[in-house]
Amino acid sequence: MRLLRVGLAQINPTVGDLDGNITRIRASIASARALGVDLLAFPEMCVPGYPPEDLLLKPAFIQGCIDRTRDLAGDSKGMTVVVGTLERDGDLYNSAAVLHDGRWVGTARKRYLPNYGVFDENRYFMSERRSVVFARGGTVFGVNVCEDIWLSRRAPRTTWRWCAT
């Protein structure tokens, strides 16, 4: 039986510091690779920093997040990296990019957007209606973004989309 070594990279990103956050992410990937990690997961929105709030009203900031995440794909050679970022597909999404062996292979978009207390995600993001499942070798895994893990057990019928890494 093959083991899958999973690593959790708990970094402290700075809101708006795209280059600094990418530097922290790259350092964590390098450390994880040295430890033999197969799948490394980062926090929600670690590329832009959380919460980016009105920075999300700046198209250049959004594109900067997307471009830096795409550039980060090359750092995933030999492993799978799940990193919190932004995605634009007509609408804007709070997403987790799945990078595998040097490529961006898919994205899990946040489904449940908090809109209470200090959270105002409905103002900025669109909610995803589907869940995505990835396959890495013989292991199938799903990705939840923050609030999704708390509420997905109560979700009505879910449509699944498959992505092979």
Q: Tokens 């929105």 appear where?
A: 45
The residue annotated as part of the active site, out of 65, 87, 110, 121, is 110
The residue annotated as part of the active site, out of 44, 87, 121, 128, is 44
Residue 128: active-site member: no
Residue 44: active-site member: yes
C-alpha to C-alpha distance for 86 and 148, rounded to whole angstroms: 16
C-alpha to C-alpha distance for 104 and 98, rounded to whole angstroms: 6
Instruction: Give the contacts of 93 (CB within 8 A, at least 6 positions apart).
Output: 86, 87, 107, 109, 110, 125, 126, 128
The residue annotated as part of the active site, out of 46, 65, 121, 146, is 146
Residue 58: active-site member: no
Assess contact for 96 and 131: CB atoms under 8 A.
no
Q: Tokens 């390098």 appear where?
A: 30
Catalytic residue ranges: 44, 110, 146
